[in-house]
Amino acid sequence: MPVTSFNGKVAAITGAGSGMGQWLAILLSRAGCHVAISDVNQTTLDETMKLLDSSVNATSHVVDVADRSAMEAFAAEVNEKHGGINMIFNNAGVSVTGLAEQMPYEDIEWLMNINFWGVIHGCKSFLPFLREAKEAAIVNTSSIFGTIAVPSQSAYNASKFAVKGYTFALRTELADSHIGVSCVQPGGVKTNIVASSRFIPIDNQSETKEELTEMFERMAGKSAEEAAQIILDGVLRNKARILVGKDARVMAWVEKWFPTGYLRLMQALRNRRQLQESTK
Contact 122/88 with Cβ under 8 angstroms?
yes
User: pLDDT higher for 277 or 187?
Assistant: 187
Q: Phi-psi bin for 89: left (phi > 0), alpha (psi -120 to 50), beta?
A: beta
Q: Is the pLDDT of residue 190 over 70?
A: no
> For residue 5, is it within any domain?
no
In DSSP terms, 129 is beta-bridged to none
Asked if residue 2 is part of any domain, the answer here is no
| pLDDT tens, residue by residue, 107-156 | 999 999 999 999 999 999 999 999 999 999 999 999 999 999 988 899 99
Angle at 14 between CA 223 and CA 67, to 5 degrees: 140
Q: Does 1 reside within a domain?
A: no
CATH number of the domain residue 160 falls in? 3.40.50.720
* Whether residue 262 lies in the annotated active site: no
Residue 217 lies in a domain: yes
Q: Which residues are paired to 171 by β-bridges?
A: none
Distance (Å, whole) CA 78 – CA 133: 13
Count the domains in the chain.
1
Parent domain of 111: 10-278
Question: Is residue 151 a part of any domain in this protein?
Answer: yes
Q: What are the residues whose beta carbons fall under 8 Å from the beta carbon of 37, sequence distance 6 or more?
A: 12, 13, 16, 17, 21, 25, 45, 48, 49, 52, 58, 59, 60, 61
Q: What is the rounded distance in angstroms from the CA atom of residue 221 to the CA atom of residue 225?
A: 12
Q: Are 111 and 61 in contact (CB under 8 A)?
A: no
